Structure 1
């Protein structure tokens, strides 16, 4: 090496690795699925929540491009209808239905419609979510809405649709769009309470009550102002915790659905789309919506039945 040349620093090396992986993902997306890999058909029903824009829209588009029937849902009817029309004009089989995962009545109405029209579904992509922080901001002003939407709403949606997951030899799929910010043992953004982390980490002892109680404790501390000294993540706190809960619930449900009998198999996994250029990130992300949607679509269509209760980013398994 010439003495005037500089070795790439850690940040530059990470950027190079990221760009190389993005190129690889882009290449993989150009490779069509073989007949052997295609377990789905035009009659396969996929539901994508929060799909009127951003990552959700792109997930719906990619799934429909692969030949599935996609139910695009949105809290906003006008936005959802416009998004659906745009995809339909491209020749894709996409149907719209209004859905607000914060409202039990809306979830019940949606499930009743699905049951009447299709009898059930084969794929659920839980994408709907919100965040009120961008950049270095870390306000918890809307913490209750963030937790209720990203975790409790997602959980309620999953529970409501579980009975409608159609039995088949191939099994049904549930994909949770989550975030690395919700990792239990991330180096910079984790819960300080080691005992609590260990409880949430032990999948054999993990319970829904424990996850709920953790979120409710945080919200109580937000209300009384003690959350800063409570040992919670200090970066995108409410969003990070909501996704931590989604990740934990995915691991829990992975264990639960693994106990189902043959022909009733369901495979549930979560994924991080990366920091995507969408309205949620203030268009400041590093990744395109096409790239951000890729792993969720890949998991939804994955033939490998050993993949269950796991966490992925860029088509690779990562630690919770």
Structure 2
């Protein structure tokens, strides 16, 4: 169950542990929350790699940042739904930086309009939102620096992926199991896709609203929890964050707060001092309050 904690101030902690040598990667960052996160981390003095699947849009985003004075920003074209693109990016990053400190998996797609309950292109949604984050994370794991501080992975998720959205008790029990495995998560996702194809997904108790998006984020949450468990004690923090109803293109410009406000909380979470870091948590940002719970 979620429980309230004191608000997470957007002001960074005074005991600053990072420097311009601290490197962060933010995916899907040519606009919206991703772009705002890059800008906020640059303001705080980090080096940031901005990635986007469209080279023109990504280059334009970096040019905009450089025009207002930010120099420690690089762009690389990355489509997280394409394994060869991930491999190319990781090779480039290893050659140019070698060590990674922070990964913000923000890249996501949704083919549902607000208020639309239909299923559209579920395979693409899950391939991007779940498998994209998973495959990129696994490819970058060997590059995380764990010698001095604690490396951080923050997966941008959604409360739509909460397990209480599942109406199928068997599937929910599987995902709630403390011994959940990666294989079980993949099997659950494949089951959903099979039932979408057969037209039985509604009868089988999957989320009623934005089902493909919800299942993709449900799987991402579960993956984050298992990854955190497997890296317990290894100087790697893995958490999820729901930015809430944010005004971006994905929401058609609707929302209760701006991308900059969401990004301030993202920066706060990934820059917490090592002694205050959590792992395996799900943070929810709602208007004027913050909630934290176990994944």
The TM-score normalised by the length of structure 2 is: 0.92
Equivalences for residues 51-70 of structure 1 within 5 A: 51-70=29-48
Q: Which stretches in structure 2 are left out of the alignment for 5+ residues?
A: 1-5
* Partner Cα separation in structure 2 for residue 109 and residue 102 of structure 1: 13
Residue from 256, 266, 275 that aligns with 2:236: 266
Aligned residues: 284
State whether structure 2 residue 269 is matched by structure 1 residue 299.
yes
* Partner Cα separation in structure 2 for residue 295 and residue 247 of structure 1: 18
Which fold has the larger relative contact order, with Cα–Cα distance below 8 Å and residues 6 or more apart in sequence?
2
The answer (yes or no) to whether the contact 1:48–1:124 under 8 Å persists in 2 is yes
The answer (yes or no) to whether the contact 1:267–1:305 under 8 Å persists in 2 is no
2:3 match:
none
State whether structure 2 residue 62 is matched by structure 1 residue 81.
no
**Structure with greater Cα Rg:** 1
1:247 match:
221
The answer (yes or no) to whether the contact 1:58–1:289 under 8 Å persists in 2 is yes
2:121 match:
142
The answer (yes or no) to whether the contact 2:12–2:268 under 8 Å persists in 1 is no
Residue from 188, 191, 195 that aligns with 1:214: 188
The answer (yes or no) to whether the contact 1:295–1:312 under 8 Å persists in 2 is no
The TM-score normalised by the length of structure 1 is: 0.85
Deviations 1:93-120 (A, max 9, x none): 2110110001111111111111111112
Deviations 1:218-240 (A, max 9, x none): 10111111112111000111101
RMSD of Structure 2 on Structure 1 (CA): 1.5
Runs of 4+ in 1 over 4 A off after TM superposition: none
The answer (yes or no) to whether the contact 1:295–1:313 under 8 Å persists in 2 is no
> Aligned in 2, Cα 1:217/1:121: closer, same or farther, shift over 3 Å?
same
The answer (yes or no) to whether the contact 1:191–1:197 under 8 Å persists in 2 is yes
- Between 54-63 and 300-309, the greater mean CA deviation after superposition: 300-309
The alpha-carbon deviation at position 306 of structure 1 amounts to 4.4
Residue from 59, 84, 103 that aligns with 2:82: 103
Q: Which stretches in structure 1 are left out of the alignment for 5+ residues?
A: 1-20
State whether structure 2 residue 277 is matched by structure 1 residue 318.
no
The answer (yes or no) to whether the contact 1:138–1:235 under 8 Å persists in 2 is yes
The alpha-carbon deviation at position 298 of structure 1 amounts to 1.5
